[in-house]
Structure 1
Amino acid sequence: MRSWNEPVKNKAHIELIPMIDVMMFLLVFFVLISLNVIPSQGMKTQLPGAASAQQLKPQQHAIVTLGTDNRLELDGQPVTPETLVNRLKAQQENGQKTAIVLNSDKSVPVERLIAVMDSLRQGGFTAISIATRKL
C-alpha cells in the first residue's frame, strides 16, 4: 500500500502579544489622563488655600484666570482686560446669570485681582467667586 504525504494544515490563531501591547498603551494613556499628568489647556496657577473652601454647585459659570506676567484668560482663551466684560456678555444666554470664578495664581498682587473684580462688577456681573484649594 502506498501513502502520500499530505501537507499539514495550520489552524488560524490569534496573536496575543500585539493585542496585549495595545491594551497596555491604552491603559497607560488612561492613567496619565486620569491623574492630570498630561497638561490641560490654559495656564498653570497655584491656587491659594482656604480651610473653608467649598465645592461649586453645577450652574453656568465662566472661569477667569489671572496668571503671572499680567496674563488673563477666559475659559482657557487669552483675553485683554478691556474685552473681558464684552466677551462674558456675549456668552450669556437670554439674560441668564453667569457665575464667574476667579482663578488667580497666589503670586498675583491683590490689587490686580481687585481691579478685575471691579471691572466685572461695573459690567453687571455680581456672582463672583474666588477659586481656592482645600487645605
Structure 2
Amino acid sequence: MRFSQRQSSKLPQIDLIPMLNVMMGILAFFVMITMSLGSEKLIDVQLPAEQQDNTPPPLPTDPFIVQLVGENQVQLNGQPIEVEALKGQMETYLGRNPENIVFLLPGQDLPYEQVMQFLGDMRSVGGDRVSLAIEE
C-alpha cells in the first residue's frame, strides 16, 4: 500500500496570542501576590531565654488580664469593657509601676490573625510590657 506523500513547502502557523494572554495573566497573578505579601505587618515576638529552674516568675499582686472573648468583645479581669476604655486603663496601670505587665488571654476558638492584630494594637499602647498568655 502506498501512501502519497505531500510535500508542503508552507510552514504551519502558530498563533501566539492565546499563549501570550496566559503568560500575562500568570505574570499579573505573581505580581499581585508579591505586592500583597510584602505589605503585611510583622509583630516582633521575643521568646524568653531558657531558664534553668522551672519556677515561673511571681505574678503581680494586682494582675491586669485582658481576655479576648470574640471579635471586639474584650474583658478586663473578667468584666466586659470597651476597647477605647481598655487603652486608657492600660496606660494608667502601666504608668503606676514600671514593672507591671499586661497579659492578653485570647479565646481558643479565635482566628490567629485576629489575636495578632489585637496584640499589635495593645503593644502600640504598652510596648514590650504586653505579653501573650496561655491557660494551662
TM-score (norm 1): 0.49
| Greater RCO (Cα-Cα under 8 Å, separation 6 or more) | 1
Larger radius of gyration: 2
TM-score (norm 2): 0.49
